[in-house]
Amino acid sequence: MTAYILRRLLATIPVMGVVAVFVFFLLRFAPGDPAAIIAGEDATVQQIAAVRAKLGLDRPVLEQFAIWVWGMLQGDFGTSIFSNMPVTRLILQRLEPTLALTLSTLLVAILLAIPLGVLAAARSRRLSDRLVMLFAVMGFACPVFLVGYVLIYVFAMKLGWLPVQGYVPISQGIWAWAERLILPSLALGITYMALIARITRASMLEVLAQDYIRTANSKGLTTGRVLLLHALKNASVPIVTVIGIGIALLISGVVITETVFNIPGLGRLTVDAVLKRDYPIVQGLIIVFAGVKVLVNLLIDISYVFLDPRIRY
């Protein structure tokens, strides 16, 4: 098994390599003169030259690529064009809100979606199943920002139960921190929940049709015991897979959710960097986000070994 984990670990290197090459050469092969575009409409020749030097566009391509990759391996993601701050520091400063938001979304989504999927499968083709499936179909169609604004409209503006926007660090009190995460987590999690609920239902339906479930039922086990111990455990591989695939939804959604709810995290950093065309920040964030995605997929692959003893590598 150690060999399998090692092999999977090695397989992430080419993927991250492609990501790095892609992001790096995007800057080189972008249509027009990226330095001029980044410097802005009314930049002088000197300003454009300064941006070009900062981006390393005046150096030979391979040399610059080597410098950039070598720096990243040491945790140096370059320097912001506008603030002149190290990108690594900017990212670390904004890490906490994003981490809080994604982890709470992950928790909320899994805790709500899996029971919904199990319920739908257990009461297949009845009203509760139809409602869960309706939710799943709607969840795929609703953009994150629409869900966010509807939640704000209902729970913050009309009912006044929760704050409209903003973020408070956890150091300023657990409740103040948590109450500002509820609506963003639900907004960010809606598509994710739809995905997980749908797969849970499908996977459970497949397992519930098996002979051993009939055996378990006929020997008089309670429905809850059959569903959770016999069925859900055997249905877990596709569910875990989709939880991993869905991380991509969370990462893309974070950028939008943080804008809707005014949360000063990595998503806001991305948007601000895009509006200022601060490419080194964008570049660094893409590497970080892609790295997280690759890492999560790695963990999912490894988890199969524990979830399903039949899988042996």
Partner 1 sequence: MAVTLASDEVGAAPEPGALLRFARFARRNPTIVAGSLLLAILVVLAVAAPWITADPFRQTPANRLRPPSEKFWFGTDRYGRDVFARTLYGARVSLVVGLSVAAIASVIGLALGLMCGYFKRIDGIVMRVMDGVMAIPSILLAIALITLSRPGLGIVITAIVIPEVPRIVRVVRAVVLAIKAQPYIESAIAGGTRTARLLLRHILPNTMAPLIVQATYVCASAMLIEAGLSFLGAGVPPEIPSWGNIIAQSRDFFQIAPWAILIPGAFLALTVLAVNMLGDGLRDRLDPRLARRM
Chain residues that interact with partner 1, rule: CB under 8 A? 14-19, 21-23, 26-27, 30-32, 34, 37-38, 137-138, 140-146, 149-150, 152-153, 157, 164, 198, 202, 248, 251-252, 255-256, 259-260, 270-271, 273-275, 277, 279, 282-283, 285-286, 289-290, 293-294
Nearer to partner 1, 6 or 21 (CB): 21
CB neighbours of residue 118 within 10 Å: 24
Give min distance, CB of 127 to partner 1, in A: 15
Give min distance, CB of 174 to partner 1, in A: 27
What is the number of residues in the chain? Answer: 313
Nearer to partner 1, 140 or 161 (CB): 140
Contacts of 241-247 with C-beta under 8 Å, sequence gap 24+, read 241/199, 241/300, 242/195, 242/196, 242/199, 243/110, 243/196, 243/300, 244/296, 244/297, 244/299, 244/300, 245/195, 246/109, 246/191, 246/192, 246/195, 246/196, 247/292, 247/293, 247/296, 247/297
Give min distance, CB of 103 to partner 1, in A: 17
Nearer to partner 1, 110 or 247 (CB): 247
Give min distance, CB of 173 to partner 1, in A: 25
Nearer to partner 1, 81 or 213 (CB): 81
Q: Are 298 and 241 in contact (CB under 8 A)?
A: no
Give min distance, CB of 222 to partner 1, in A: 29
How big is the CA angle at 291 (ends 22 and 311), to the nearest 5 degrees? 115
Nearer to partner 1, 113 or 251 (CB): 251
